[in-house]
Amino acid sequence: MAATPPPFAPFEWMIAWRYLRARRAEGGVSVMTWISLVGITLAVFALIATLSVRSGFRAEFVDTILGANAHATVYHAGQADAATGRSDRTIADYEAMAERLRAVEGVTRAAPLVKGQVMATANGRNAGVQVFGIAFEDLLTIPRVADPETGRGDIARFDEGIAIGSGVAQELGLSVGDRIRLISPDGVRTPLGTSPRINAYEVVYIFSAGRYDIDRVRVYLPFAEAQSYFNRDGRADEIEVMVRDPERVEAMIPALLRAGGDRALVWTWHDASGAFLRALEVEDNVMFVILSILVLIATLNITSGLVMLVKNKGRDIGILRTMGLSEGSILRVFFICGAFTGLIGTAAGVVLGCLFALYIDPIFAFVNMVMGGQVWDPSIRGIYHLPAKLQAGDVLTAVALSLGLSFVVTLFPARRAARMNPVEALRYE
């Protein structure tokens, strides 16, 4: 008794390969194969490119938020001032509070801040800015600000002047060594009322945090000077807290509240940017579903091509069945034809998608040049360039989706070929 050949035997691969090689009389099958191949390639490329840009955008957004802002901010609940009747949120014992916060497990830095919004003017131009009063040693621990590669000037001279964002410098036409005037409406208190306070400072450092909305409005003053300028003598507005693991800052809120005292409140970076991150996550999921449908449509072209191939090879199927090939062998022959197309298309799409993610900067620069510039407006999008972060998980997700769909849609025409009656196939031959 003859031994049954194993599945995917060499002769099955040989027959499938012969069917994949187009003949002149079967040009339609060849065209459909190429359409399927190109369609899957472009679909996988689009999926990987979108996933990499999605990952890069989120990573860039979170990195700029964590690199230029506090992971958590501890401040006081409002308390009525007996003299003025106004709500007072300032912190009188800020040094002791900062020391208690530094002792919390996982906290890497706690820095007192004085904050205020003023008008900045220079060279006949005006701009609204947000002033952060901070100590020099604390300023050095802000990664996106105290970065020698992106900053200009001498940050060591911070106590002698002011540090401003690159957007502020561009808006007011300032460079290192120029002078900027800050105008605060809540200035000197006199018997006749409060008069605006106007102080001039030398620009000693210009930073670029990587986010347009930060660089465009933020300036840093030495802490003692900010206290004097905003009438905060002996007080701070809040404590800026940095933690070792920013993603777990929510779990640290109870400990921060205990260290902050009875009037303490906590505002984390999740509270400030959580809505945007959730919207970004929803958009990511929707885009993945849409592109998955695109991959499905591309793989359905394999079905069209295989249906045409089965129809053209009806006589061959009948002969092979009469020679003793089983239904399983016929099914595997046509499955190999469709799966091979999906495999090659997926591989080509992965290569193109990875190249796009790795070389997105020169590609985007070329597109920007062709379109005449201003393709990416940082004032709208918040960041200065289109980021991309190639992750193995995204690539594997795209590969699994494409190959899985390719294999599934191939089974239906392959099964039809396997169940073809050889008598009917050879009746009119």
pLDDT by 10s per residue, the chain, length 429: 445 666 666 766 777 777 776 554 454 456 777 888 888 999 999 999 988 988 888 887 788 788 888 899 999 887 766 555 567 788 989 999 999 999 999 999 999 999 999 999 999 899 999 999 999 999 998 888 988 888 999 999 999 999 999 999 999 999 999 999 999 887 666 665 667 888 999 999 999 887 888 889 999 999 999 999 998 888 999 999 999 998 889 999 999 999 988 889 999 988 888 777 888 788 888 888 888 898 888 888 888 777 777 777 667 667 776 676 777 777 787 788 888 888 999 999 999 999 988 888 888 777 777 776 665 656 555 566 677 888 888 899 999 999 999 888 888 888 777 776 665 655 555
Q: Can you tell me the distance from the alpha carbon of 186 to that of 235, in angstroms, rounded to the nearest whole number?
A: 16
Please state, in angstroms and rounded to a whole number, the distance separating the CA atoms of residues 228 and 224.
6
> 245 and 98 in contact (C-beta within 8 Å)?
no
Nearest CA among 287, 311, 300, 283 for reference residue 397: 287
Q: Give the ranges where 240-326 is alpha helix by DSSP (H).
A: 253-260, 269-312, 314-322
Nearest in space to 39 (alpha carbons), one of 334, 341, 413: 341
Helix residue spans in 217-268 (DSSP H): 223-229, 253-260
The whole model's pTM is what? 0.71
